[in-house]
């Protein structure tokens, strides 16, 4: 691939890690620091040029083309979802899925909503840019820094755990306590700042001064939470409230907000869409050397169709995050259109097979967003997050969660379910996918019948003591009950986390 700065990638040295991985036909390359920085900065002019001069297309036409081609690729590559096997063990299908995703990205490209044009890349460009991805990234600073790595299928590398009110709205009153409840959990490695929709009781309007003030407040609350937890260098991943580029960037503050060691989300619109607002976020973050997180939210039952087609779209979304956003890590937040979760059989299958496809064919560090229908204080929530952790860990994913109540209930989230995600994930290190499948099928039996009438649980003050920021007995009893049951299934929740050392 001829890079914009005139350097050809064949001149760069071969990588020392992840070379010639199973399922991959491409050798990973690494660049020295200056060359890599130059390449990333100079991709923006090329992306803008292609955004302005690529094939013109109306958005509904792009959606129809994507839906049609995705269905063809599912059939062409023989991709098949089996509800009785939510955790598949088919390496060949994982590799076929990856190739289908590459085909979709190369053939359709990315739709720029601002210009109504498609941004196109060749297969060679995709392979070369994917080959330049770092397979690990240091997040946070000092003693609180962690290394998020590309993880192998059925590997022994522990997953890092990102927690916070993932997609769950918070009130101004309870937001600081919710963040502290997550940041103080020893097994939580990184904190998501979450979202508050008001500022001093007033609705935050995108593009208004309140968006700026709200973003800075939420960033300061997150910074204060990690300090109070005794972990001032902990990585903070995004301030979710702002909907504009200017709102996001207002949260950058080395003293009271997000730092270069932290990250912001750069989002995709469903499916395979971007805009100049999102691309501007990426350009700014690259310019200051701050981490970028590629956020995708593919809809099961949407343009991709069922689980198989949405998995193809999700692979293409990860490629978008590499090519357009130069993301440090990727956040897979697929969602069932009916139940607004991903802990159903299709969602778990997608998490697993996409994780395997990425692990076997790319060097990228990826994490799953465990999104649940249940809420804090409900036993069902603990069963849901356990299933998500068991599905993702042997499939090569890092952990994120929990998203609670499908995002419908304010403050129905706590740090206790994050603790449980970490315990289950660490206990799953080294298990096979077949073993994981048996566990997930059993876990599903405890909650999947509740999807139509979910238990939304209780708000934070009803399950946590607001003075000590510790779980109340009503929540601890349910946690211990489910925890004991999972231990009886064969997972060592007491000893698994002791073996985990990040670094």
Torsion sign across C-alpha atoms 218, 205, 238, 340: positive
pLDDT, residue 26, reads 36
346-349 long-range contacts (CB < 8 A, ≥24 apart) are: 346/81, 346/83, 346/300, 346/306, 346/307, 347/300, 347/307, 347/371, 348/86, 348/87, 348/387, 348/388, 348/391, 348/440, 348/444, 349/81, 349/82, 349/83, 349/85, 349/86, 349/87, 349/88, 349/307, 349/311
Share of the chain above pLDDT 70, in %: 91
What stretches of 132-275 show up as alpha helix (H) in DSSP? 175-183, 209-228, 245-249
Cα separation of 368 and 388, whole Å? 8
Q: Encoding tokens for residue 242?
A: 């702002």
pLDDT, residue 501, reads 59
Q: What is the pTM of this model?
A: 0.91
Q: Let me know if residue 179 belongs to a domain.
A: yes
Q: Let me know if residue 407 belongs to a domain.
A: yes
Could you tell me the pLDDT band of residue 40, with boundaries at 50, 70 and 90?
very low
pLDDT at 328 over 50: yes
Q: Encoding tokens for residue 324?
A: 């357009």
CB atoms within 10 A of CB 71: 16
pLDDT at 16 over 50: no
Taking residues 327-335, report their average pLDDT: 97
What is the tally of structural domains in the chain? 1
Distances from the Cα of 29 to the Cαs of 1, 26, 308, 350, in angstroms? 13, 9, 31, 28
CB atoms within 10 A of CB 430: 13
Angle between helices 209-228 and 175-183 (to 10 degrees): 40
CATH, residue 420 = 3.20.20.460
Give me the domain span that covers residue 266: 136-499
pLDDT at 436 over 60: yes
pLDDT, residue 497, reads 73
pLDDT, residue 268, reads 98
Taking residues 164-189, report their average pLDDT: 97
pLDDT in tens, 380-412: 999 999 999 999 999 999 999 899 999 999 999
pLDDT at 113 over 70: yes
Taking residues 489-498, report their average pLDDT: 88
3-state DSSP helix/strand/coil % of the chain, to nearest 5: 45, 15, 40
Angle between helices 33-53 and 276-288 (to 10 degrees): 160
pLDDT, residue 368, reads 94
Burial of 92 (0-12, 13-18, 19+ CB in 10 A): exposed
pLDDT in tens, 241-267: 989 999 999 999 999 999 999 999 999
Residue with tokens 């071969």: 14
Q: Let me know if residue 191 belongs to a domain.
A: yes
pLDDT at 33 over 60: no
Cα separation of 87 and 222, whole Å? 35
DSSP state of 360: H
pLDDT at 13 over 60: no
Q: Let me know if residue 48 belongs to a domain.
A: no
Q: Let me know if residue 245 belongs to a domain.
A: yes
Residue 440 dihedral angles phi and psi, to the nearest 5°: -65, -40
* Spatial contact of 104 and 66, defined as CB atoms under 8 Å apart: yes
470-471/146-149 β-pairing: unpaired
281 vs 21: which has the higher pLDDT: 281
pLDDT, residue 500, reads 72
Strand partners, 282: none
CB atoms within 10 A of CB 408: 14
Taking residues 112-131, report their average pLDDT: 97
28 vs 294: which has the higher pLDDT: 294
41-47 long-range contacts (CB < 8 A, ≥24 apart) are: 41/286, 41/287, 42/3, 42/4, 42/5, 43/3, 43/4, 43/326, 44/279, 44/282, 44/283, 44/286, 45/4, 46/4, 47/119, 47/279, 47/324
pLDDT at 32 over 70: no
Q: Is the peptide bond before 330 cis (omega within 30 degrees of 0)?
A: no
Q: Let me know if residue 292 belongs to a domain.
A: yes
pLDDT, residue 496, reads 80
Cα separation of 148 and 330, whole Å? 11
Q: Let me know if residue 75 belongs to a domain.
A: no
Distances from the Cα of 260 to the Cαs of 249, 278, 284, 374, 399, in angstroms? 12, 18, 12, 34, 22
Residue 8 dihedral angles phi and psi, to the nearest 5°: -100, 135
Q: Encoding tokens for residue 91?
A: 């390496």
pLDDT, residue 110, reads 99
Cα separation of 108 and 309, whole Å? 14
pLDDT, residue 27, reads 34
Angle between helices 91-108 and 345-361 (to 10 degrees): 80
pLDDT in tens, 127-153: 999 999 999 999 999 999 999 999 999
Q: Let me know if residue 11 belongs to a domain.
A: no
């Amino acid at each position: 691939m001829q890079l914009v700065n005139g350097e050809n990638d064949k001149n760069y040295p071969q990588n020392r890690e992840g070379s010639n991985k199973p399922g991959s036909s491409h050798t990973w390359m690494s660049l020295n620091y200056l060359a890599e920085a130059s390449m990333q900065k100079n991709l923006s002019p090329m992306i803008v040029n292609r955004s302005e001069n690529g094939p013109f297309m109306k958005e509904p036409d792009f959606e129809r083309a994507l839906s049609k081609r995705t269905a063809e690729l599912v059939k062409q590559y023989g991709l098949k979802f089996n509800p009785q096997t939510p955790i598949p063990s088919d390496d060949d299908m994982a590799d076929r899925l990856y190739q289908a995703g590459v085909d979709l990205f190369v053939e359709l490209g990315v739709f720029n909503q601002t210009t109504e044009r498609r941004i196109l890349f060749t297969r060679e460009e995709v392979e070369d840019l994917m080959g330049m991805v770092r397979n690990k990234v240091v997040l946070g600073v000092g003693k609180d820094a962690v290394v998020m790595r590309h993880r192998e299928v059925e590997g022994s590398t522990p997953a890092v755990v990102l927690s916070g009110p993932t997609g769950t709205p918070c009130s101004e009153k309870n937001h600081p306590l919710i963040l502290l409840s997550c940041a103080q959990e020893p097994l939580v490695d990184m904190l998501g700042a979450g979202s508050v929709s008001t500022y001093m009781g007033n609705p935050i309007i995108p593009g208004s001064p309140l968006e700026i003030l709200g973003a800075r407040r939420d960033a300061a609350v997150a910074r204060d939470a990690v300090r109070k937890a005794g972990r001032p260098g902990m990585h903070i991943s995004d301030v979710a409230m702002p909907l504009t580029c200017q709102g996001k960037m207002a949260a950058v503050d080395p003293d009271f907000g997000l730092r270069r060691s932290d990250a912001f989300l750069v989002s995709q619109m469903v499916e395979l869409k971007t805009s100049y607002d999102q691309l501007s976020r990426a350009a700014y973050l690259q310019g200051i050397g701050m981490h970028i997180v590629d956020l995708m939210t593919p809809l099961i039952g949407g343009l991709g169709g069922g689980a198989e087609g949405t998995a193809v779209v999700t692979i293409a979304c990860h490629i978008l995050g590499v090519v357009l956003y130069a993301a440090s890590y990727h956040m897979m937040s697929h969602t069932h259109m009916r139940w607004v979760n991903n802990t159903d059989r299709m969602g778990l299958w997608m998490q697993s097979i996409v994780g395997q496809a990425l692990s076997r064919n790319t060097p990228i560090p990826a994490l799953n967003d465990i999104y649940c229908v249940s809420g804090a204080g409900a036993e069902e929530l603990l069963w849901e997050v356990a299933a998500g952790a068991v599905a993702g860990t042997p499939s090569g994913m890092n952990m994120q969660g929990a998203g609670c109540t499908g995002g419908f209930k304010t403050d129905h989230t706590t740090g206790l379910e994050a603790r449980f995600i970490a315990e289950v994930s660490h206990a799953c290190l080294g298990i096979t996918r077949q073993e994981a499948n048996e566990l997930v099928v059993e876990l599903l039996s405890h909650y999947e019948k509740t999807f139509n009438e979910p238990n939304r649980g209780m708000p934070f003050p009803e399950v946590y003591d607001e003075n000590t920021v510790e779980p109340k007995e009503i929540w601890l009893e349910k946690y211990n009950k489910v925890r004991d049951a999972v231990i009886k299934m064969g997972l060592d929740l007491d000893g698994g986390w002791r073996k985990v050392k990040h670094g």
